[in-house]
Amino acid sequence: MSTTTVSEKAVPVRRGGRAGGLLAAVGGQNLSLIGALAVMLALFGSLNGNYLSWTNIQVIAEAVTISGVLAVVQTVVIICGGLDISVGSQAGLYSVVSAMVFTSTGSSAVLGIAVALVMGAAVGVLNGVIIVYGRVNATIATLAGLAAYKGVAQLLSNGAAQGYVLNNSVFVFLSRGKIAALPVMVWILIVVALAVHVMLKYTDIGRNLYAIGGNDTAARLAGIAINKYLIAVYSLLGVVAAVAGILLTARTGSGQPTSGSEGLELQSITAAALGGCALKGGKGGVGGTLLAVALLGALENGLTVEGINAFWQNVAQGALLVVAVVIQQRRSGERAVGLPG
């Protein structure tokens, strides 16, 4: 006969203690990224004494700002089951537009920035409408946009840098200004990241986005206006791509149709996937994406400081994207294509 008492059955068994609580709060994915970042910083710091200096840390932070703001909002798009491969071309287009409007209107930085932001929202809506009402796969639709927006930027600029904006206090402030010892560009990334994090974690909008990505059929039956959400999300990404384009203009001093914007789509998607976003939707967060952005930035800066060929940076990014997707597939428990279960 069993001697187990009722009180013994009612007492839950705690496993893991403080370590388990930390893992639950931070997340295994994020802890892995923190560990990888720490190892990378220690490695490059041991190879070069200036790598961990405050000056170089600021250089890394500024360098990842543009890709960072795109990665944060790319995270939102992926969470709801979408993808945008055109963000790099969009950033180049808005960089050209902001500079051209600036120079053609008597150096009006505010007007140049405003036109770029409005255009970003409009192009984002166009992408969303094509995907939702044209019933075009998001990857195909935005792949077409990758080519089209790049072409428009080159047509407008004749393939050359446009204008010079660093004779204007607004652009100078964006590129060189500091607030509380941090560059303005870094503050912009912080503000965008905080706003998106709050939206995803603490609002009905965020919960609905996760629901759409997790199971769009159930979300539709629950009364969520999926089409409106998707168009709004792509519009948001268009606006943030415009912000990225404006920052690119401020950083380089002129409108750049391709230089500085090529590869941003790969960086944003890699950061989101490496940060824990499930490419099928329904999973992900800003914290993991920011850690992945920092990891990629630290890697790129370390390779540059050590004088390693810049082409290896692209190899590293591609490898990290594959690793992130492989880890996702293993964790999901899905059967590998072409292999027995």
Q: What is the pLDDT of residues 269-306, one digit of tens each?
A: 999 988 889 888 889 999 999 999 999 999 889 988 88
Average pLDDT over residues 113-122: 96
Of 138, 128, 115, residue with least CA distance to 233 = 128
- Is 140 within the bounds of a domain? yes
pLDDT-based confidence at residue 139 (cuts at 50, 70, 90): very high
Question: Dmax over Cα atoms in the chain, in whole Å?
Answer: 92
Of 57, 104, 78, 96, residue with least CA distance to 248: 96
Whole-number Cα distances in Å, 268 to 64, 147, 318: 10, 17, 12
Distance of CA 94 to the CA centre of its chain: 17
The predicted pLDDT at position 85 comes to: 94
Which parts of 64-108 fold into alpha helices (H)?
A: 65-79, 87-104
Task: Give the rounded distance of the alpha carbon of 322 from its chain centre.
Answer: 17
With respect to residue 318, please indicate whether it lies within any of the assigned structural domains: no
Q: Using the 8-state DSSP alphabet, how is residue 19 labeled?
A: H
Task: Please give the structure tokens belonging to residue 210.
Answer: 């996760």
Confidence at 263, pLDDT banded by 50, 70, 90: confident
DSSP assignment of 24-89: HHH-HHHHHHHHHHHHHHHHHHHH-TTTTSHHHHHHHHHHTHHHHHHHHHHHHHHHTT---S-HHH
Answer yes or no: is 56 within a domain. yes
Please, which pLDDT band fits residue 7 given cuts at 50, 70 and 90? very low
pLDDT tier at 335 (50, 70, 90 boundaries)?
low
How much is the pLDDT for 328? 65
Q: Which of 126-130, 171-175, 299-303 has the lowest mean pLDDT?
A: 299-303
In a domain, 165, yes or no: yes
Answer yes or no: is pLDDT of 9 > 80.
no
Q: Is residue 315 one of the residues assigned to a domain?
A: no
Structural domain contains residue 15: no
Residue 339: CB partners within 8 Å, gap ≥ 6? none
pLDDT averaged over every residue in the chain: 87
**Which residue segment(s) compose the domain that 218 sits in?**
50-301
Domain count, the chain: 1
Alpha-helical (H) ranges within 80-203 are: 87-104, 109-132, 138-157, 169-176, 184-202
Write phi, then psi, for 280 (nearest 5 degrees): -90, -5
